[in-house]
Structure 1
Amino acid sequence: MSTTVTDQGQPTPSTAPDRPELQQVIQEIVDSGLTGVALRVQDERGVWVGAAGVAELGGTAQPPTDGHVRIGSNTKTFVATLVLRLVAEGRFGLDDAVAGLLPGFGLDERITVRMLLQHTSGIFNFTGEYYDDGTFVPGIPATTAGKEWVDNRFKTYRPEELARLALAKPARFEPGTGWSYANTNYVLARLLVEQVTGRPPAEELQRLVLGPLGMTNTVAPTTGTEVPEPHPRAYYRYEDGGQERTVDVTRHNPSWISSGGDMISTAQDLHTFISGLLSGKLLPAPLLAEMCTPRPTPIPDMGYGLGVFVQDIGQGRTIISHNGGAAGHAALMYSTPDGGKTLTATLNYVDDAALSLAVPFQKATQRLVDVVFRGGRPGMAGGDGHA
């Protein structure tokens, strides 16, 4: 159904034409293996909100279009924005050495705040590191660990513990000489915020990001296990004694991923955030420009700024994004560089240790980008998205 949005941000029925191509593409995402999708698109034609699939296995109700999900690595954009707000306050500089600001961890003195936010520090990823030769070195029991993650999903991990585990491993490369996506960078950013401000990062996030934008449906739970209502269910499939089991993991303690991906939000709030950020409501223009200046990555046509991906979609056009998924919930967040056109979505699915939905998820997100930002048609091939 096509909708508009009132001043209070609540969807209301619209007389604008339906957009069947959007409904078709989210149905294709469900057909590719995901359980449910709720999509929100805001552009020159207004706001379109729709859903496909189901909110829970065995059910018939669609996912709520205002549903809360764990947003995974979209958290990184929030954390990067928080750090840049503190830079704007003069608490530290982007090119300051982290070791001087966050003592006691034995950090390489060449690592700067910028390197944490841009994934150029070279620090080991505490959720496990994939190397170019195909080898995988595990870290903590993350969602790649099967039954071990399920058995530990209510355990509390302290951010300091995650950081120290990673720093005890060999670095991937010398600081500033490469790019490697690592959750550890953002746990260190969280610890930096706490060290410099003397306040819990969730409180600083409320003060500097959520509060100024009037966001009321976004949560940094730290160790809290609940997802606010309404929400779709999240699932995880694993092997136990030779038997395949699927369990509901909507409730779990997200401290295993910490500020690498622990936040909860809605498609509406993600729009409010990315649109507000890119239209200049949170950061001074020079810092926003720094955030959106990409460094090359191994992903085709995709660079990484400070907490955001910068994607070249052809015809001289660029979009700013971050996606995230973990443990059966996921979220998409895309925008034009001025914040004027956005695509945000919440997804629910059955996760597993093999990350078997990763390719369908990437192809699905690329189809959405094609339709919304390139004017493509549903059913077009794609697949260079990044979760």
Structure 2
Amino acid sequence: MIKHKRALGGALTLAVAVGVMGGSLPGNAAAATRVKATTAQSTHAADDARLRALMHRLTTADGAPGALVATRDRRGSAVLTSGVADVDSQAPVRGDSRFRIGSMTKPFVATVVLQLVGEHRVDLDAPVERYLPGVVRGHGNDGRVITVRMLLQHTSGLPDYLDHLNPQDILKDPLAHHDTRDLVNLALAHPPTFEKPGAMPGSEWHYSNTNYLLAGMLIEKVTGHAYGEEIGRRIIEPLGLHDTSVPGDATSIPGPHPRGYVRPGEDAPLMDITAFNPSVAGASGEMISSGTDLNRFLDALVRGKLLRPAQLKAMMKTRSTGSDDGREYGLGLESRPLPCGGLYWGHGGDIFGYQTAGGATADGRQATVMTNVDPGGTDAQDDDMEAVVRTGLCEGRPAHSQ
């Protein structure tokens, strides 16, 4: 799920690191505290100061109770926290926190689908109808002309089911189960979302969480196992991602974690939504993880440890999203330019209670950031979180000359 937070919808991505406390912080205005995961001392004071300033901004001007950024490169790893994990107790954000990652689930799902492609069990350019016969039909939506590749790249034209859910209804009963097929049918009760008259699947990019609900269903149909089981067997276990899980209907977050909050209105008080049934997100955004785990996953993915070369190349073949910041979307993975040169690969996400963003470079740098409010931050929060990721990835590197 992603980017419905201003209307109280949405979903997520990533962040956190190291098993140490972030230090005692007196409320939202608390100064950021760095916790080292290695004994290496940073020699990049300017970037470190900028990271601290951005983290402080997230938990003051941007309105998040707490925030965390985890960085990792060949020199070591570190975590920086600001603000509080609990507005009542004023407990600080822990460096080893776990949290809901929302749409950062999508790279996991896309990786499993592409592994199946590498095993010749799925054809990227086959129609969805081959794997899910009769599922994608109605109101101009047709699985016979939509391919698996289009699902993963958000070019199917399928409407986003989140556009047709009332977020207030979810807040009234946050523990309710949501059936994936029902959510898909909710989307398919509406026409495709093409902007140009007569447009066909594959011709336009439009982010739709429905695509990844279907990708999860496809994994289950092909393997005979729930998509979460396949993520566990193919990614979580081999990489030793001990903080990562696919919760299904489980409403709690295991292990240390900040409380998750929403702000139901501009001037409304924060509402605690830590206990939440993420089945409403499903394969589009239900997972839980930590910064340490997500950094490890992104590094393994980008550097070819999870996919064969042909499938990684397909994942990284991007198309423009039409954004002004140069963002392009591959198959469950997006690229953005860095001020220090080159690109980074990652994803972003929002789910009730948490917003995340993060990425990795091909030369072994990773940065992830999390705040524990969504929706409810300011409009500047997105930009500041993106700035945290860019700064973390470019730490100690000169700005690239254009």
TM-score range (shorter-chain normalised) is: 0.7 to 0.9
User: What's 1:111 paired with?
Assistant: 146
Supply the distance in 1 between the matched residues of 2:394 and 2:241 (Cα, whole angstroms): 29
Match of 2:382 in 1: 362
1:323 aligned to 2:353?
Answer: no
Cα deviation digits, residues 81-137 of structure 1 (max 9, x gap): 111111111111111111111113133311011000000000000000xxxxxxxxx
Identify the residue that residue 197 of structure 1 maps to in structure 2: 223
> Is residue 2:250 matched to residue 1:224?
yes
Displacement after TM superposition at 1:375 (Å): 4.9
Q: 1:103 to 1:358 in 2, by over 3 A?
A: farther
Structure 2 residue 165 is the aligned partner of structure 1 residue 122: no
1:311-362: CA deviation from partner (whole Å, max 9, x where unpaired): 1235651111101121111222211134x0000223212x34xxx5262221
Matched, 1:163 2:184: yes
Residue of structure 2 aligned with 1:28, choices 45, 54, 57: 57
Residue by residue over 1:242-289, the C-alpha shift from the partner in whole angstroms, topping out at 9 and shown as x without a partner, is x94532110111111111111000000001100011111110011111
Structure 1 pair 214–65 and aligned structure 2 pair: CA distance change class (3 A): same
Q: Is the 8 A contact 2:369 2:385 kept in 1?
A: no
The alpha carbon displacement at 1:11 in A equals: 6.4
Shift of residue 12, structure 1, vs aligned partner? 4.4
Work out the CA distance in 1 between the residues paired with 2:173 and 2:160.
19
Contact 2:37 2:79 in 1 (8 A): no
* Count of matched residue pairs: 351
Written as runs of structure 1 = structure 2, the 5 A alignment for 1:128-147 is 128=163, 139-141=164-166, 145-146=167-168
1:58 offset after TM fit, Å?
3.0
Question: Could you tell me how far 1:13 is from its partner in structure 2?
Answer: 5.2
Question: Which whole-Å CA distance do the structure 2 matches of 1:343 and 1:290 have between them?
Answer: 24
Listed one character per residue, the Cα deviations across residues 187-225 of structure 1 (whole Å, up to 9, x for unaligned) are 000000111111111111111111121111111111111
- Distance in 1, Cα, partners of 2:235 & 2:38: 30
Query: Which residue type is aligned with residue 381 of structure 2?
Result: F
The code of the aligned residue for 2:79 comes to: V
Do the aligned partners of residues 180 and 277 (structure 1) sit closer, same or farther apart at CA in structure 2, a change above 3 Å counting? same
- Name the one with the larger strand percent: 1
Q: Distance in 2 between matches of 1:170 and 1:111?
A: 14
Q: Secondary structure at the match of 2:158?
A: coil
Judge conservation of contact 1:69–1:330 (CA < 8 Å) in 2: no
Residue 238 of structure 1: SS of its match in structure 2?
coil
1:275 to 299, 307, 323: 299
Query: Taking structure 1 as reference, are residues 189 and 358 closer, same or farther at Cα in structure 2, changes over 3 Å only?
Result: farther
Shift of 1:363: 1.5
Structure 1 letter corresponding to 2:42: P
Q: Which residues of structure 2 form unaligned runs of 5+?
A: 1-16, 20-34, 195-199, 398-402
Separation (CA, whole Å) in 2 of partners of 1:11 and 1:226: 28
Q: Provide the rounded CA distance (Å) in 2 between the counterparts of 1:322 and 1:193.
A: 21
Question: 1:221-260 maps to which residues of 2 (within 5 A)?
Answer: 221-238=247-264, 244=268, 246-260=270-284
Structure 1 residues 59-99: Cα deviation after superposition (integer angstroms, max 9, x where no partner): 33221111111001101111111111111111111111111
Q: Spell out the pairing of 1:60-99 with structure 2 (5 A cutoff).
A: 60-99=90-129
The amino acid of 2:212's aligned partner reads Y
Return 5+ residue gaps in structure 1 as ranges: 129-138, 378-387
The yes-or-no answer on 1:14 pairing with 2:10 is: no
Q: Which amino acid aligns with 2:191?
A: P
CA distance in structure 2 between the partners assigned to 1:375 and 1:70 by the alignment: 26
The higher relative CO (CA closer than 8 Å, separation ≥ 6) is in: 2
CA contact (8 A) 1:370 1:376 kept: no
User: Compared with structure 1, are the counterparts of its residues 195 and 270 closer, same or farther at alpha carbon in structure 2 (3 Å cutoff)?
Assistant: same
Contact 2:37 2:77 in 1 (8 A): no
- Identity across the alignment (%): 35
Measured after TM superposition, the shift of residue 23 of structure 1 is: 2.7
The letter of the residue matching 1:65 is G
CA RMSD between the two structures? 2.5
Q: CA deviation at 1:49?
A: 1.4
Q: Pick closer, same or farther for the CA change 1:224–1:233 going to 2, 3 Å.
A: same
Any conservation in 2 of the 1:266–1:346 contact (CA below 8 Å)? no
Q: Deviations over 1:15-42 (max 9, x none)?
A: 5137542333212221221111121111
Query: Partners in 1 of 2:269 and 2:78 — Cα distance?
Result: 37
Change (3 A) 1:43 1:322: same
**Any conservation in 2 of the 1:69–1:331 contact (CA below 8 Å)?**
no
Residue 307 of structure 1 deviates from its aligned partner by 0.4
Kept in 2: contact 1:323–1:333 (CA 8 A):
yes
TM-score, structure 1 as length reference: 0.85
The answer to whether the Cα contact below 8 Å between 2:357 and 2:386 also exists between their aligned partners in 1 is no
Change (3 A) 1:88 1:346: same
**What is the TM-score normalised by the length of structure 2?**
0.82
